């Protein structure tokens, strides 16, 4: 062990070993992994070693596919067997909705280019796995690249290959303490102190403690998990080839062959957390006692699905723990305010995801950004609220129990809610508001007309469709009032504010009293934000954007901070309402003494609105004349009551974000996470419209210029109309032209004003001309679609730009 390394990886499970391997392979030789015990001594040794293709986040599904390919490669590179059993795998659905969902999942795989997946009938499922009872099964999805590995062999293969690339592995050496220095970290270990420029928390079951060593509270908790290995089953012994891995979604179980028996793993309905503050330091190769009473229901279902299990005994029980983040995806990447500290933890499926995590993190550490859009596993997707123990307990428990349970796009899950409420929450609830959650905040979805209205979870149009239609109509014809507490707001001031904003935003800065749409780019020219910058004219600026990106943006801002800049996240203290529709000015004029009618489109200023001294911006996401009215949290209730009273005789009604999503789609306004992501460049998404090419210096300028002056992007975002009468696209549905895949939907929905099913899609430029006939798969059915001109509603923008 040296006294100095460029990077020290803490933890020798499958994730730490993969990070080490990728760092060394990508060129950082001066790297070392420190393991408390021996390699695999956390969750990794007792895992079932299975790898499945499915993941709700397509970007993570792609990284899983990368991991699967990598497993054979590390075997070759290290000379250490990973015990690969590429058996293929199938996922079975036993309800009509689940079957439709699987069909949609299959289409998503097509969209992201994973082409070794196919749908199968119950008969084919029975032929592929003769041990499965297909009773009640409606269909399945079969993936060729699924199977299982030997867990210990795999960890040693990653580590062995890493060593061949020059990395070092030190076992029996616990990291005791981390001390931040001016140029990295002092890593205090049992065998002495090492100085490292970078440290990686790959502490697995101990990730919580390794976070606390750096003063970080990670939203992660271990949960227990059972699997059993049966005695030899004669029917299995008689097979001439290995059974495919089989997931029974309705039964909460996964199954694979284990020698001549079966391994049956269970996602427990009555789940159990274990050592929420992290495992004891002395914990090693032990397991928990099995608790068959707690998992009786799933066991019964499992034994019915695989009747041969009923005839043999259980050879081994494994009840061990592994870690989960609130949404079940890993926690990867750098942490704000802790330069050189990196996370690679919360990985609940290390044998499936470890390769992708290691690759992305190593790219991030070496090049400053990972190649893929890894927001779905970025540690900065959570904020400080997620460090709460009860929040972690509820959300990780919910994810665990629902691991194999589908979530409908319109379904609201209860864990960790309600947490943050805007002050007018109670009043809005009394008015019928139905809520969703964004980054811990309750956000209005729509207003139900009756107290007993219940929205049915569905993949198709729901029974809230007409309610949303009414809300859209109110906005288009009169006025809609929307609580916009769920936007992020950053205040920028200080002598260096303008210079800093000019550097980080690719757009021109707004003049005093004006707001401007501002793309923010990475140095590679990929999008980092679709923000709005306000110049309040008094030396104070605001940046507004997506609420759930608050920590993610704050990390970027902090990493690229300028001199003499004061930056504050004011989103908890400042809230507001958006008022939009042709009557919105009339409503405001009743309440405002100042020249609110003179405020130009994209103008902003401070006005009296009733009793409130409010900051008002004339902006429009709906495509109508619109105002965003900001106030302090203490004034939120009064602002709502004031606006409701003023709008009562002008046809104004409260609306939710479901209506806004439909209205913005009719205007072809993209949103973050769909049309705009860090995986796309400005030119691909049309964001380049807002770039100020005359600016001599802004982050991402060189890359953006290169793209502008080159051949242009291969794929761009276009507007589609789809012939669909019962369901709308929601995202990642494949788009076909004459049977060939040409792209995928970024977001979709119903345009209530134009009366059409609409979608925005990222498609090949060759298929992007207006009028091109295409097809889109939505919930199991192929539907004709065509490229239409942007903004199917009010293409000239008369509504939003006009005087009302």
Answer for which of 42, 211, 647, 686 binds ligand FAD (CB under 6 A) is 42
- Pick the closer one to ligand FAD by CB: 319 or 578: 319
> Which residues have CB under 8 Å from 595's CB, separation 6+?
none
State yes or no: residue 686 binds ligand FAD (CB under 6 A).
Answer: no
Q: Does 379 bind ligand FAD (CB under 6 A)?
A: no
Compute CA 605 distance to the chain's CA centroid, rounded to the nearest angstrom.
35
Q: Determine if 210 is a binding residue for ligand FAD (CB under 6 A).
A: yes
Q: Which is nearer to ligand FAD, 39 or 660 (CB)?
A: 39
> Is 440 a binder of ligand FAD (CB under 6 A)?
no
Nearest partner of 46 among 316, 393, 256, 401, judged by Cα: 316
What's the rounded Cα separation, in Å, for the pair 765 and 160?
Answer: 45
Interface with ligand FAD includes 275 (CB under 6 A)?
Answer: no
Q: How far is CA 633 from CA 420, 425, 437, 607, 646, in A?
A: 12, 12, 18, 17, 20
Nearest to 223 by CA among 2, 341, 343, 399: 399
The single residue among 20, 61, 137, 175 that binds ligand FAD, judged by CB under 6 A, is: 175
Footprint of ligand FAD on 735-754 (CB under 6 A): none
According to CB under 6 A, which one of 28, 109, 165, 206 is a site residue for ligand FAD?
Answer: 206
* Interacting positions 47-106 with ligand FAD (CB under 6 A): 47-50
Find where tokens 């062995």 sit: 160
Minimum distance from residue 670 beta carbon to ligand FAD (Å): 35
Pairing of strands 541-546, 740-751: unpaired
Q: Could you tell me the two tokens for 8?
A: 């020290």
Q: Which of positions 705-724 make contact with ligand FAD (CB under 6 A)?
A: none
**Contact between residue 422 and residue 484 where contact means Cβ atoms under 8 Å apart:** no
Among 198, 225, 359, 476, binds ligand FAD (CB under 6 A): 225
Does 347 interact with ligand FAD (rule: CB under 6 A)?
Answer: yes
Adjacency order of strands within the sheet including 245-248:
117-120, 139-143, 89-93, 245-248, 253-258, 261-266, 221-230, 314-324
- Told to check if 321 binds ligand FAD by CB under 6 A, we report yes
146 binds ligand FAD (CB under 6 A): no
Torsions phi, psi for 442 (to 5 deg): -75, 125
What is the rounded CA–CA span in Å between residue 161 and residue 175? 23
Q: Which of 5, 28, 158, 322 binds ligand FAD (CB under 6 A)?
A: 322
| Interface mask toward ligand FAD for 383-412; x: CB under 6 A | ------------------------------
Q: Quick one: which segment of 300-308, 342-350, 624-632, 675-683 binds ligand FAD (CB under 6 A)?
A: 342-350
Name which position in 122, 147, 184, 203 contacts ligand FAD (CB under 6 A).
203
Omega within 30 of 0 (cis) for the link into 418: yes
Nearer CB in complex with ligand FAD: 338/765: 338
> How is residue 526 annotated by DSSP?
B
**320 contributes a contact to ligand FAD by CB under 6 A:** yes
Distance of closest approach, residue 227 Cβ to ligand FAD, in angstroms: 5
Between CA 749 and CA 558 the distance in angstroms is: 36
Could you say which of 25, 36, 98, 664 contacts ligand FAD (CB under 6 A)? Answer: 36
Q: How far is CA 555 from CA 227, 337, 485, in A?
A: 40, 8, 21
State the Cα–Cα distance between residues 442 and 435, nearest whole angstrom. Answer: 6
CB 17, CB 31: distance < 8 Å = no
User: Which of 484, 483, 774, 533 lies closest to 654 in space, CA to CA?
Assistant: 483
Is 227 a residue that touches ligand FAD (CB under 6 A)? yes
Q: Minimum Å distance from CB 347 to ligand FAD?
A: 5
Least CB distance from residue 290 to ligand FAD, whole Å? 11
Q: How far is the CB of 215 from ligand FAD (least distance, A)?
A: 15
* 542 counts as binding ligand FAD under rule CB under 6 A: no
Quick one: 65 or 348, whose CB is closer to ligand FAD?
348
Which residues here bind ligand FAD, judged by CB under 6 A?
Answer: 10-16, 34-37, 41-44, 46-50, 174-175, 202-206, 210, 225, 227, 318, 320-322, 345, 347-352
């Amino acid at each position: 062990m040296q006294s100095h390394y460029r990077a020290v990886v803490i933890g020798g499970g499958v994730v730490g070993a993969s990070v080490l391997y990728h760092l060394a392979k990508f060129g950082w030789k001066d790297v070392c992994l420190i393991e408390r015990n021996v390699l695999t001594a956390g969750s990794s040794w007792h895992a079932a070693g299975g790898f499945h293709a499915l993941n709700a986040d397509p970007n993570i599904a792609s990284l899983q596919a990368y991991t699967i390919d990598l497993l054979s490669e590390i075997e070759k590179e290290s000379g250490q067997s990973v015990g690969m059993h590429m058996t293929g795998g199938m996922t079975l659905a036993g309800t009509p909705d689940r079957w439709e969902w699987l069909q949609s999942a299959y289409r998503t795989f097509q969209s992201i280019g994973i082409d070794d997946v196919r749908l199968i009938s119950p008969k084919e499922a029975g032929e592929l796995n003769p041990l499965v009872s297909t009773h009640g099964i409606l269909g399945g999805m079969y993936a060729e690249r699924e199977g299982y590995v030997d867990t210990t062999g795999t960890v040693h293969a990653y580590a062995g290959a890493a060593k061949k690339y020059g990395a070092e592995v030190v076992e029996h050496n616990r990291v005791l303490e981390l001390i931040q220095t001016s140029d990295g970290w002092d890593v205090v270990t049992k065998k002495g102190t090492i100085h490292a420029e970078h440290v990686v928390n790959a502490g697995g079951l101990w990730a919580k403690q390794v976070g606390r060593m750096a003063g970080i509270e990670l939203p992660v908790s271990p949960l227990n998990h059972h699997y059993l290995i049966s005695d030899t089953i004669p029917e299995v012994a008689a097979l001439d080839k290995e059974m495919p891995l089989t997931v029974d979604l309705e039964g909460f179980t996964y199954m694979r062959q284990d020698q001549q028996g079966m391994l049956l793993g269970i996602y427990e309905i009555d789940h159990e957390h274990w050592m929420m503050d992290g495992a004891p330091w002395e914990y090693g190769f032990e397991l928990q006692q099995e608790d068959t009473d707690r998992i009786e229901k799933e066991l019964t279902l499992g034994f019915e699905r695989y009747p041969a299990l009923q005839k043999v005994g259980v050879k081994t029980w494994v009840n061990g723990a592994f870690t989960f983040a609130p949404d079940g995806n890993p926690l990867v990447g750098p942490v704000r305010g802790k330069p050189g500290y990196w996370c690679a933890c919360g990985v609940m499926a290390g044998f499936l995801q470890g390769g992708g995590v290691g690759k992305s993190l190593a790219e991030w550490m070496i090049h400053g950004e990972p190649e893929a859009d890894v927001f779905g596993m970025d540690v900065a997707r959570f904020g400080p609220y997620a460090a709460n123990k009860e929040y972690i307990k509820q959300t990780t428990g919910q994810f665990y129990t629902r691991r194999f349970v589908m979530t409908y796009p319109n379904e609201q899950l209860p864990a960790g809610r309600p947490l943050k409420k805007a002050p007018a929450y109670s009043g809005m609830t009394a008015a019928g508001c139905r809520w969703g959650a964004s980054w811990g905040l309750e956000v209005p979805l729509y207003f139900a007309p009756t107290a007993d209205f219940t929205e049915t979870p569905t993949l198709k149009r729901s029974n809230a469709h007409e309610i949303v239609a009414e809300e859209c109509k109110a906005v288009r014809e009169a006025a809609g009032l929307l609580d916009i507490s769920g936007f992020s707001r950053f205040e920028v001031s200080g002598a260096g504010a303008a210079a800093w904003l000019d550097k980080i935003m690719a757009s021109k800065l707004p003049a005093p009293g004006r707001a401007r749409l501002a793309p923010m780019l990475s140095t590679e020219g990929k999008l980092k934000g679709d923000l709005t910058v306000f110049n309040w004219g008094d030396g104070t600026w605001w940046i507004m954007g997506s609420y759930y990106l608050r920590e993610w943006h704050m990390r970027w801002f902090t990493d690229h901070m300028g001199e003499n800049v004061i930056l504050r996240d004011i989103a908890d203290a400042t809230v507001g309402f958006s008022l939009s529709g042709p009557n919105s000015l009339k409503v405001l004029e009743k309440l405002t003494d100042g020249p609110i009618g003179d405020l130009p489109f994209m103008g902003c200023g401070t006005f009296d609105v009733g009793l409130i001294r409010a900051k008002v911006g004339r902006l429009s996401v709906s495509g109508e004349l619109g105002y965003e009215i900001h106030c302090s949290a203490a004034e939120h209730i009064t602002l709502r009551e004031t606006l409701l009273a003023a709008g009562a005789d002008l046809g104004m009604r409260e609306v939710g974000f479901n209506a806004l999503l439909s209205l913005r789609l009719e205007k072809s306004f993209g949103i973050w996470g769909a049309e705009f992501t860090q995986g796309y460049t400005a030119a691909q998404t049309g964001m380049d419209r807002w770039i100020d090419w005359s600016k001599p210096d802004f982050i991402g300028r060189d890359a953006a210029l290169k793209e502008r002056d080159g051949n242009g992007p291969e794929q761009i975002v276009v507007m589609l109309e789809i012939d669909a009468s019962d369901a709308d696209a929601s995202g990642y549905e494949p788009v076909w032209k004459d049977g060939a895949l040409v792209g995928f939907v970024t977001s979709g929905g119903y345009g209530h004003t134009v009366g059409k099913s609409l979608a925005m899609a990222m498609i090949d430029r060759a298929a992007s001309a207006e009028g091109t006939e295409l097809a889109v798969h939505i919930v199991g059915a192929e539907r004709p679609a065509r490229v239409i001109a942007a903004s199917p509603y009010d293409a000239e923008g008369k509504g939003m730009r006009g005087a009302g």
